[in-house]
């Protein structure tokens, strides 16, 4: 390849990279506008046009990224998953200790993106929308409990996993914040202590069941 050809390829790559960055920026601006409207007016208070007006772009621009209301909501969920992927604390847990150690960072991430997280929670509660990563964490938590306390009945394992997931969730963070006035740091300390107690209790109950089975 000649020098001129190499320079042409490099220049085209830069242009594509710039276009991609501009596309991502526009998409993020639209999602931020959607988040603001959801927080202020609720899930029924937005349309593609109202989001376009808030974002300062044309209806056509929004439509190019998100052709309808459902696509906008899915885009919000995807943005939340992208943010979660950047945090080590929000990777799939392998033990209850992973929850304990990562809860402070996780709640700080929620604090840093409060408006978007609040909007997302409104969507989740109203429509029962659960992103792929949320479902994966639900399944991973149940497996953690099964591994930690295999002797417990399946229903008790399911209940314990549900409690762990709730405590370490964005909904828990929001309730601690709005209902009890706790900061992210205060809430994370509270959740961490609760998770430690659950951990110890599961181990204790599992041993008791195993002991009873042997007697």
Whether residue 134 is found in the same domain as residue 171: yes
Better-predicted residue by pLDDT, 130 or 119? 119
Whether residue 104 is found in the same domain as residue 144: yes
Whether residue 36 is found in the same domain as residue 62: yes
When pLDDT is cut at 50, 70 and 90, the band that residue 133 belongs to is: confident
pLDDT of residue 193: 97
Whether residue 11 is found in the same domain as residue 111: no
When pLDDT is cut at 50, 70 and 90, the band that residue 10 belongs to is: very low
Is the pLDDT at 14 greater than 50? The verdict is: yes
Query: What's this model's pTM, rounded to 2 decimal places?
Result: 0.77
Which of these three, 17, 35, 67, is where a domain ends? 67
> What is the mean pLDDT of the segment spanning 141-153?
97
Cα–Cα dist 73/40, whole Å: 16
Is the pLDDT at 61 greater than 50? The verdict is: yes
For 148-207, how does the pLDDT look when each residue is reduced to its tens digit (9 = 90+)? 999 999 999 999 999 999 999 999 999 999 999 999 999 999 999 999 999 999 999 999
Is the pLDDT at 12 greater than 60? The verdict is: no
Whether residue 56 is found in the same domain as residue 105: no
Whether residue 96 is found in the same domain as residue 131: yes
> What is the mean pLDDT of the segment spanning 107-136?
86
Which of these three, 33, 50, 67, is where a domain ends? 67
Whether residue 85 is found in the same domain as residue 134: yes
Where helices occur in 128-183 by DSSP H, the ranges are 132-148, 154-167, 170-178
Residue-number span of the structural domain to which 7 is assigned: 1-67
| Number of separate domains in the chain | 2
Which of these three, 43, 67, 91, is where a domain ends? 67
For 32-50, how does the pLDDT look when each residue is reduced to its tens digit (9 = 90+)? 999 999 999 988 888 999 9
Is the pLDDT at 98 greater than 50? The verdict is: yes
Whether residue 84 is found in the same domain as residue 179: yes
What is the CATH classification number for the domain harbouring 184?
1.10.357
Quote the DSSP letter at residue 62.
H
Asked if 102 and 93 touch (Cβ cutoff 8 Å), the reply is yes
> What is the mean pLDDT of the segment spanning 81-94?
70
Whether residue 102 is found in the same domain as residue 175: yes
Rounded to the nearest 5 percent, the helix, strand and coil shares of the chain are 85, 0, 15
Report the 10 Å Cβ neighbour count for 120. 23
First to last CA, the chain: 79
Buried b (16+ CB within 10 A) or exposed e, 86-112: eeebbeebeebebbbebbbebbbbbbe
Is the pLDDT at 3 greater than 60? The verdict is: no
Whether residue 113 is found in the same domain as residue 196: yes
Per DSSP, the three-state class of 129 is coil
Whether residue 36 is found in the same domain as residue 132: no
């Amino acid at each position: 390849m000649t020098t001129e050809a190499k320079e042409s390829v490099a220049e085209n790559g830069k242009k594509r990279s710039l276009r991609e960055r501009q596309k991502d920026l526009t998409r993020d601006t639209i999602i931020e506008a959607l988040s603001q409207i959801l927080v202020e007016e609720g899930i029924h208070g937005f349309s593609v046009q109202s989001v376009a007006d808030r974002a300062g772009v044309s209806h056509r621009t929004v439509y190019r990224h998100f052709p309808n209301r459902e696509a906008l909501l899915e885009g919000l969920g995807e943005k939340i998953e992208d943010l979660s992927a950047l945090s080590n604390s929000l990777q799939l847990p392998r033990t209850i200790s992973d929850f304990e150690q990562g809860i402070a960072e996780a709640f700080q991430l929620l604090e840093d993106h409060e408006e978007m997280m609040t909007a997302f929670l409104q969507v989740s509660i109203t429509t029962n929308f659960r992103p792929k990563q949320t479902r994966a964490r639900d399944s991973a938590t149940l497996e953690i409990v099964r591994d930690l306390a295999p002797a417990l009945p399946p229903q008790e394992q399911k209940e314990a996993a549900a409690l762990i997931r709730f405590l370490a969730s964005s909904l828990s963070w929001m309730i601690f914040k709005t209902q009890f006035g706790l900061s992210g740091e205060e809430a994370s300390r509270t959740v961490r202590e609760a998770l430690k107690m659950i951990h110890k209790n599961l181990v204790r109950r599992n041993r008791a069941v195993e002991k009873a089975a042997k007697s």
